[in-house]
Every structure is written in C-alpha cells, then in structure tokens.
Chains A and B, each alone.
Chain A
Amino acid sequence: MRHLIDIRDFSKEEIDELLGVAERIIADPIAFQDRCAHKRLATLFFEPSTRTRLSFEAAMQALGGSVLGFSSADSSSAAKGESVTDTVRTVACYADIIAMRHPKEGAPFLASRRSTVPVINAGDGGHNHPTQTLTDLLTIHREKGRLDNLKIGMAGDLKFGRTVHSLITAMLQYEGISFVLMSPPELRIPSYLREMLDREGVPYLETDEMEAHLGDLDILYMTRVQKERFFNEEDYVRLKDRFILDTEKMQYAAAEMKILHPLPRVNEISVKVDDDPRAVYFDQVKNGMIVRMALILKLLDEAGKESTK
C-alpha cells in the first residue's frame, strides 16, 4: 500500500508525474470533476489546522468525492484515550483514503503501518509536512519553469518549521540547488538535515543576516519566527524584526525572485509586499488544493491496482 508520509516516499520521477497531473487539472478541471465519485476522504486532524484541512476537503470535493472526519483531538475518540492505530483501523473501514494531522512526530507513519487504505501525512509535529512541499514544488515549478539550478533562501524558524525540513529534503534530488538558511542561531535547521546536506554535497550557508543575500536568490521561502519558541523575551525582541520582509528589504531582492510562505502569516511579511508581483504565497494556496487533488488520484489509483491483483 502506498502512502505519503515523508516526501522521500516519492521518487523524483513520481513527483514530476504528480506535478504533471496538477498542470493538467489546472488546464482542464472539468475533466477531473467526477474522478473520485463514490470515494471518501477522511480528514483526521488531531490538531486543528483549518487551512490544510479545507485544502484536502476542497481537493476531494473538486474530484467529486465526499469527506468525513474531525478537526481536533477533543472531538474524536482520542479524548477518551483511543490510540492512533485503533482510530486509523476504524476509520479505514469507512473511508478510501486518510489525511492525518497530528501533534506528535511520526504519528502518520505509525498509522500507515496499520491502515488498510492510503494515509497522507498532513503534518506531524515539527517534523514533516509533505503535501505542503508538493505545494511548494508546484508553485516553484509554475513560477520559475524548473526545479533545478535554483538558489533558495529560507528565513525565520528553520528549527521547528516542518515545511522547511520537507522542502529541503525534496530539493536535494534536483541538480544545481543551493540554500541560504537565514535564522537566529537558536532556530537553525536540525542536525539530521545538516548531515543530509553534507552527505549530498549540497552547498548551503547558515546566517542570521537577510538583506545581504536577497539579491542572489531565485526563491525566498519565508516562515514565522515563533515567539513561543524563545526562552526569553529579550532574544525574541532582538531578532524578530530581522526576519520581517517589508518593502524596504524587497529593494535588495532580484527582480525575478519569488516569495513563498506556507501561511498563515502573522507579521513576517508586511501586507504591503502582497502587491509585489514577486509575492506568490496566495497562488501557493490554490496550488496546494490542486496538487492534493493529483496526490489523492495517484494514491487511490495505486490502491485500486493493488486490490485487483
């Protein structure tokens, strides 16, 4: 049974194929509107995330399927102490595919080992968020026309930002990628990612400066510096403004650079930047639904082939 738990579960070729399906959906959505008729998606959100949950639900509905599920652990049997594996085994009796968000890292992986239907990781703690990565990849591909030979800047919370972790992991497969990782020293990428970059020989720079690097970037991936991650207020106050993107900083950026953000935004991108043609984070939201449609189709298709074997 195929699942998507980690972006590494899919080969480069499979990702390219998914992005190709996404492009076909964008070109002709009507052709896909009944492709999941009589199919059901369960959204098991043990942690609230309205944006991601709605994206999955909209994706399934756009394919003609139906959805069921819950939007927080409080409204599920988890509140009674039911295990993740029991919840998944139960829900797999009602649904053809499951999208799971869980605050604990590795929960969707555990679920996939027990589930009889495909499981999609819709975010697990600070660990992975592979469908956000597919969203990012589709957006980068649509905006830049390629996924190789890119200099990607990432700014903000790179330690707990799971979208950052998954995107770095995915980009390792493409030629000519380099990273500029801009964060406070306290919020640098986890060591396993640094090891991965070193092992793959991918160039990267870790810095707590932003302006000096904006002019070289093809992509700027913004994330929020999260106040709650700091142990003392002083450090947060000292660092928070360095990673706020405003129109002043945008003067240093290249004309062709594109700004992505997994959203929700708080204050790390000034609303004045929204009108800049380089800001594509709201296009990213639309792309997220499209690529989730492509993913649901792929996993259901593979599950169908398996059941007819």
Chain B
Amino acid sequence: MNIDGVENGIVIDHIQPGDSMRIYRLLELDELDCSVAIIQNVVSRKHGRKDIIKIDQDMDVDLDALGYIDPRITVNIVQNNELVAKKHLELPRRLWNIVDCKNPRCITSVEDEVDQVFELVDPERELYRCVYCEAAAEKQAL
C-alpha cells in the first residue's frame, strides 16, 4: 500500500497498534484543513506492529498528551521532504486538560473554567492523580 510522504508536516510514529484513532480524536485532527493519513497495523522492526499518522501540515502537537498515551511514540518533523527533528517522548510530569477527573465529589465537577490537572505520582505504573482530589486518572477514558 502506498501512502505519499509528507512534504512539510509531522509523522507520528511507533503508535501502539489500535491507538491511532484515539490520537486522531485527541489531537482533533479532523479539524485540520490538510491531508491526514492514518496507517494501521504496519510491520515494525522494533515493535512487531505499529500505527503511523502522517499530517501534511506543520502544527503544534501536544507532546504531553502523546507522551501520556504512550511514551514510546516518536514525533518526526519534516520540512521540504527532509526529517529535521525527531522527538522522543516521556511521561509528562503534569497533564493539563488531557483527562477529566471522574470523581463526582471533586471541585472540578462543578466549578466552571477550572483546568483539569493531574500529576504523575508513580512513573512505573504510569499513575496520575488529580491535583485537587487525588482521584486516579482513568486512561481508558481518553
């Protein structure tokens, strides 16, 4: 299957197979006015299988959000058909407005205009807790 290369834009690589649509929704790529290719279940030398997203437009990607979904993802910046930067992600220390607190007793459930903020408390378990009420972030809810 042939997918055109990116001339000026971003290639999000090494996505866990099946996660590309979650990332598409999270980054609101449907709102872009450019070509976006989602390639699923590609053979990967490193990981066996992977998904790839190609965006034919330079844009600010929320690296924290991507790092939260999967710190093994890489983000490639392409300019004039050349790879100019490769960003390796890590688990962000804080999540800003990436997940919502599901605790109905949390102040964020009633107060308008409050940022949803979660802090990494256990990197090994990739565990985040709401800075307001300490409820755990529910990753599956993304």
Q: In the complex, what residues of B have CB within 8 A of residue A254's CB? A: none
A125 and B132: CB pair below 8 A?
Answer: no
Q: How far is the CA of A110 from the CA of B129 in the complex (A)?
A: 15
B129 & A192 in contact (Cβ 8 Å cutoff): yes
Contact A110-B105, Cβ < 8 Å, known A83-B111, A195-B122:
no
CA A103 – CA B104 in complex, angstroms?
11
CA distance A124 to B110 in the complex (A): 14
Taking CB atoms and an 8 Å cut-off, the chain A residues in 95-137 that contact chain B are 102-107, 109-110, 124-127
The contact of B106 among A105, A190, A191, by CB within 8 Å, is: A105
Most A CB contacts (10 A, CB to CB) among B112, B122, B131, B133 go to: B133
Q: Given the interface contacts A83-B112, A85-B111, A126-B105, does A106 sit within 8 Å of B122 by beta carbon?
A: no
With both beta carbons as reference points, the residue of chain A lying nearest to B112 in the complex is identified as A83
Query: Does the CB pair B133–A127 fall under 8 Å?
Result: yes
Q: Which of A83, A110, A190, A195 contacts B132 (CB 8 A)?
A: A110
Instruction: List B contacts of A197 (CB < 8 A).
Output: none
**A77 CB → nearest B CB, Å:** 14
Q: Can you list 23 pairs linking A and B with CB atoms under 8 Å apart?
A: A83-B111, A102-B107, A103-B105, A104-B105, A104-B109, A104-B110, A105-B103, A105-B105, A105-B106, A105-B107, A105-B132, A105-B134, A106-B106, A106-B108, A106-B130, A106-B132, A107-B111, A109-B107, A109-B131, A124-B107, A191-B136, A192-B134, A195-B122
Closest to B101 in A: A106
Does B141 lie at the interface of the complex (its beta carbon under 8 Å from any beta carbon of A)? no
A84 adjacent to chain B (CB < 8 Å): yes
- Residue of chain B at shortest CB distance from A165: B134
Contact of A105 among B114, B122, B133 (CB under 8 A): B133
Whole-angstrom CA separation of A105 from B111 in the bound complex = 11
For chain B, the bracket of interface size reads 20 to 34
- Please give, as numbers and ranges, the residues of chain B lying within 8 Å of A84 by CB-CB distance: 107, 111
Query: Given A104-B107, A106-B108, A195-B122, is A125 in contact with B133 using a C-beta cutoff of 8 Å?
Result: yes
Q: Which residues of B contact A124 (CB under 8 A)?
A: 107, 133
The list of the 9 closest CB pairs from A to B, nearest first, reads A106-B132, A105-B133, A104-B107, A107-B107, A106-B107, A106-B133, A125-B105, A105-B105, A105-B106
Write the nearest CB–CB distance from B88 to chain A, whole angstroms: 28
Contacting A at CB under 8 A, from B88-137, are 103, 105-114, 121-122, 127, 129-134, 136
Closest to A106 in B: B132
CB pair A109–B132 under 8 Å, yes or no, is yes
Q: Verify A104–B106 contact, CB threshold 8 A.
A: yes
Residues of B contacting A83 with CB < 8 Å?
A: 111-113
Interface string of A185-204 (1 = CB under 8 A from B): 00000111001000000000
| CB contact list, A158-203 vs B, under 8 A | 190-192, 195
Contact with A along B23-66 (1 / 0, CB 8 A): 00000000000000000000000000000000000000000000
Q: Is the CB of B107 within 8 A of A110?
A: yes
Nearest CB of B to A84, in Å:
6
Which chain B residues border A105 with CB–CB below 8 Å?
A: 103, 105-107, 132-134
